[in-house]
Amino acid sequence: MSLEQRNKKVAETFEKFKIGQWGNELIRSCAQVATNVVEQKHQVSRAKRSRALGSRAFRGSTVWFTGLSGAGKTSIAFALEAYLVSKGIPAYGLDGDNIRTGLNKNLGFSKEDREENIRRVAEVAKLFADSGVVCLCSFVSPFAEDREVARRTHTDCDLPFFEVFIDTPLEVCEQRDTKGLYKKARDGQIKGFTGITQDYERPEAPELVIQTVGRSIEESTMEVIRLLESQGIIPRLENAVSEVEELFIYGNRLSSAIEEASRLPQVEITSLDLQWVQLRNPIHNGHALLMQDTQRQLIERGYQNPVLLLHPLGGWTKDDDVPLETRINQHKAVLNEGVLDPNSTVLAIFPSPMMYAGPTEVQWHAKCRMNAGANHYIVGRDPAGLPHPNGSGDLYDPRHGAMVLKMAPGLNDLEIIPFRVAAYDCSVGKMAFFDPTRKEDFDFISGTRMRGLAKSGKEPPKGFMAPSAWKVLSEYYQSLKSKMDTN
CATH of residue 392: 3.40.50.620
Alpha carbon of residue 257 to chain centroid = 31
pLDDT at 267: 58
Tell me, yes or no, if 45 is annotated catalytic: no
Identify whether the C-beta of residue 91 lies closer than 8 Å to the C-beta of residue 85: yes
Model confidence over 182-194: pLDDT tens digits?
Answer: 888 888 888 878 8
> Which residue type does 187 have?
D
CA distance 176 to 307: 39
CATH of residue 92: 3.40.50.300
Domain co-membership, 112 together with 215: yes
What is the average per-residue pLDDT within 151-161? Answer: 93
Domain co-membership, 187 together with 284: no
CA distance 283 to 107: 67
Residue 217, in any domain of the structure: yes
Residue 76, in any domain of the structure: yes
Residue 269, in any domain of the structure: no
What is the average per-residue pLDDT within 112-140? Answer: 93
What is the average per-residue pLDDT within 195-203? Answer: 87
Q: How many domains, the chain?
A: 3
Buried/exposed 402-440: b ≥16 CB within 10 Å, e otherwise: bebbeebebbeebebeeeeebbbbeeeeebbebeeeeee
Domain co-membership, 410 together with 335: yes
pLDDT at 236: 73
For 330, phi then psi, to 5°, come to -65, -40
Stronger pLDDT, 46 or 253, i.e. the higher one? 46
Domain co-membership, 353 together with 286: yes
Complete edge-to-edge strand list for the sheet that includes strand 422-425: 430-433, 422-425, 442-443
Three-state DSSP class for residue 353: coil
Model confidence over 279-332: pLDDT tens digits?
Answer: 357 889 988 898 888 888 888 888 888 899 898 888 888 887 888 899 999 999
CA distance 312 to 17: 72
Domain co-membership, 214 together with 308: no
pLDDT averaged over the chain? 82
pLDDT at 248 over 70: no
Domain co-membership, 15 together with 85: no
Residue 294, in any domain of the structure: yes
Domain co-membership, 213 together with 351: no
CA distance 164 to 71: 12
> Which residue among the candidates 61, 138, 141, 474 is catalytic per the annotation?
141
Radius of gyration over every alpha carbon of the chain, rounded to an integer in angstroms: 32
Domain co-membership, 28 together with 90: no
Q: Range of 21's domain?
A: 1-41
CA distance 167 to 169: 6
Q: Which residues contact 385 (CB under 8 A, 6 or more apart)?
A: 356, 357, 358, 361, 394, 395, 396
Domain co-membership, 78 together with 8: no
What is the average per-residue pLDDT within 80-98? Answer: 91
Domain boundary among 193, 217, 243: 243
Residue 271, in any domain of the structure: no
Domain co-membership, 389 together with 305: yes
Assign residue 373 a region: left if phi > 0, alpha if psi is -120 to 50, beta otherwise? left
Residue 261, in any domain of the structure: no
Residue 320, in any domain of the structure: yes
CA distance 383 to 376: 18
Between the alpha carbon of residue 313 and those of residues 60, 352, 368, the distances in Å are: 41, 6, 12
Identify whether the C-beta of residue 417 lies closer than 8 Å to the C-beta of residue 377: yes
Domain co-membership, 288 together with 161: no
Residue 196, in any domain of the structure: yes
Domain co-membership, 94 together with 35: no
